[in-house]
Amino acid sequence: MHFCQGLSQDVVARLPHYRSDFYDARNRKVLGSAFYLFFACLANAIAFGSLLGFLTGGEIGVIEMLIATAIGGIFYALFSAQPITLLGGTGPMVIFTSLVYVVCQRFELNFIAVYCWCGIWAGLILVLLAVVNTSNLMRYFSRFTDDIFAALVSIIFIYEAAKNIVETFHDQGANFTAWVGVFLAAGTCALALFLPTLKRIGPRPANWAKFLADFAPTIAIVAITFLTVTVSSVSLEGANVPLSFEDTTSGRPWLVELYAVPDWVKVAAIVPAFFAAVLLFLDQNITSHIINEGMAPLRKGHGYHLDLLLIGILTLVFSLFGLPWIVAATIHSVNHLNSLTVEADDTETPTLAVVENRVSALLIHLGIAASIFMLTWIKFIPMPVLFGLFIFMGIVSLRANSFFIRALSLAVPLVFRFANPREKLASVGGRRRFTIVQLICFCTLWLVKSSVLGLLFPIFIALCVPVRLLMTRIIDEVDLDLLDDN
């Protein structure tokens, strides 16, 4: 085994493009992408930070998530091999952290100290995995798994946002305020979806139409928020952020006291740390695989090993301060890629290139860092507007998901006309069997995620690989090559 071989290859392959990553950012799409995804990443940090604060008794909350997202995102934007991938909090990591908290409460252990030791071990495991080139295993993953995972995350985003809106009716009843929340969410999503369609007016899109398309999500957020603040007399819940960033959510010291637990706990923490490392490894690599090996024509290459090493370092360091572990966020990364994609004016050549750069990711996370000093202003953004943004992101991601289009076409055949032209060459029987197997895997993942087996969610994702390998027994190789381009 050649230690660090993958790391050295990643550095050698990506370093020559480092300067151009900044020089190529002289494109309007970069600024539009940065504004749009600043709000998306901010909403993600607030949402997961609030949930984490509730599940850990306030030990880790919104301010910790904002700081981790800002610092981790800036670090990753500057040094990663694939800066199009964006970092953030994820559902599986929030669930894992809450389970650690429950165990600590049961055995009367200092949660933040146990969490810190878990993070130290998990970080070291990830660094070791990067050193011994384990990301090479990603060559066994294909669009079969990528599309299932991406569709699952997209639908979770839409489902959770819609659930929060519906819960307003449950808590307050079907009053005027609840209906205003529905209007704001729907208005944000609809406006963000509508503005890009203006490019289709006339034989060639005008510059103003291109501008509106590039900045559509940002315009939607600002317009609906302004409308709410200036016109509506209804008091709506704003973003759930703290009033100060100087103290932790619980008031504990920022630096974790490592020796607040017995020695046996420090060693025993290796066990949950292993599961945490598996979660982080698969979340990071599958999202990177979706970005690097997708349909978009990337030119500058990638580096799975280097990116995994950075996640390991961040996990280790953040644990010392009781900050949440962050990793590649699938929905944000996919939308980042989509927002940087340059499309042709004609429909025959849908994609020309991707504006590969570090500046958009850097601006996004610098914006989140700046927002920590403007928490009172962030509160003006109504939560329904952020929920509408989540729904928009989920819809945009699903529109480009081959599995989702094929699955929907099983019930509504006309939808298949939006499918990838390459997939249309596959036989009807092979295409149907391929899609049904993906649907079974998708439903299994959803059930696991929603059950007490939630921690095993990444393991079930990994099991999609052997399922795909076994499909050669029921589907012709030619059809598999057309439907699942590795």
HEC secondary structure over 342-408 = ECCCCCCCCCCEECCCCHHHHHHHHHHHHHCCCHHHHCCCEHHHHHHHHHHHHHHHHHCCHHHHHHH
**Residue after which a domain boundary falls, among 400, 435, 454:** 400
Which residue from 242, 290, 270, 330 is spatially nearest to 114, judged by alpha carbons? 270
| Helices of type H across 173-262 | 176-194, 207-214, 216-230
- What separation in angstroms does the CA of 412 have from each of 150, 378, 424? 21, 42, 16
pLDDT tens track for 398-434: 888 889 999 998 888 888 887 888 888 888 888 899 9
Q: Do 363 and 444 sit in the same domain of this protein?
A: no
Please state the φ and ψ torsions of residue 20, each to the nearest 5 degrees: -70, -20
Amino acid (one-letter) located at 384 = P
pLDDT tens track for 137-162: 888 888 888 889 888 888 887 888 88
Is residue 355 within 8 A of residue 340, CB to CB? The reply is yes
- What separation in angstroms does the CA of 238 have from each of 37, 52, 79, 195? 19, 18, 34, 25
Number of domains in the chain: 2
CA 380 to CA 273: how far, in whole Å? Answer: 39
Is residue 335 within 8 A of residue 37, CB to CB? The reply is yes
> Which two tokens mark 355?
């504006």
Q: Do 393 and 415 sit in the same domain of this protein?
A: no
Q: Do 88 and 231 sit in the same domain of this protein?
A: yes
Q: Do 94 and 222 sit in the same domain of this protein?
A: yes
Q: Do 388 and 418 sit in the same domain of this protein?
A: no
Q: Do 240 and 308 sit in the same domain of this protein?
A: yes
CA 397 to CA 282: how far, in whole Å? Answer: 20
- What proportion of the chain, given as a percentage, has pLDDT over 90? 36
Q: For 286-306, what is the mean pLDDT?
A: 86
Q: Do 313 and 225 sit in the same domain of this protein?
A: yes
Task: Give 240: exposed, middle or buried? Use CB within 10 Å, 0-12, 13-18, 19+.
Answer: middle
Q: For 77-100, what is the mean pLDDT?
A: 89
Domain with 418, as residue range(s), is 405-486
What does the CA dihedral 14, 396, 69, 285 come to, rounded to 10 degrees? -50
Q: Do 457 and 318 sit in the same domain of this protein?
A: no
Average pLDDT of the chain is 86
Q: Do 305 and 214 sit in the same domain of this protein?
A: yes
CA 289 to CA 306: how far, in whole Å? Answer: 14
Q: For 184-199, what is the mean pLDDT?
A: 89
CA 363 to CA 27: how far, in whole Å? Answer: 14
Each residue of 402-425: b (16+ CB within 10 Å) or e?
A: bbbbbbbbeeeeeeeeebbeebee
Strands 341-342 and 327-328: unpaired
- Give the model's pLDDT for residue 327: 95
Q: For 452-459, what is the mean pLDDT?
A: 71
| DSSP assignment letter at 421 | T
Q: Do 385 and 440 sit in the same domain of this protein?
A: no
pLDDT tens track for 10-62: 999 999 999 999 999 988 889 989 988 998 898 888 888 887 887 888 899 88
Task: Give 148: exposed, middle or buried? Use CB within 10 Å, 0-12, 13-18, 19+.
Answer: buried
Is residue 62 within 8 A of residue 249, CB to CB? The reply is yes
CA 7 to CA 305: how far, in whole Å? Answer: 5
Tokens 């998306």 -> residue: 40
Q: Do 372 and 415 sit in the same domain of this protein?
A: no
**Residue after which a domain boundary falls, among 351, 374, 400:** 400
Q: For 264-281, what is the mean pLDDT?
A: 92
Longest Cα–Cα distance of the chain, Å, equals 71
Is residue 329 within 8 A of residue 43, CB to CB? The reply is no
**Residue after which a domain boundary falls, among 375, 400, 425:** 400
Q: Do 433 and 379 sit in the same domain of this protein?
A: no
- Give the model's pLDDT for residue 75: 97
Tokens 């050295």 -> residue: 8
Q: For 208-226, what is the mean pLDDT?
A: 82
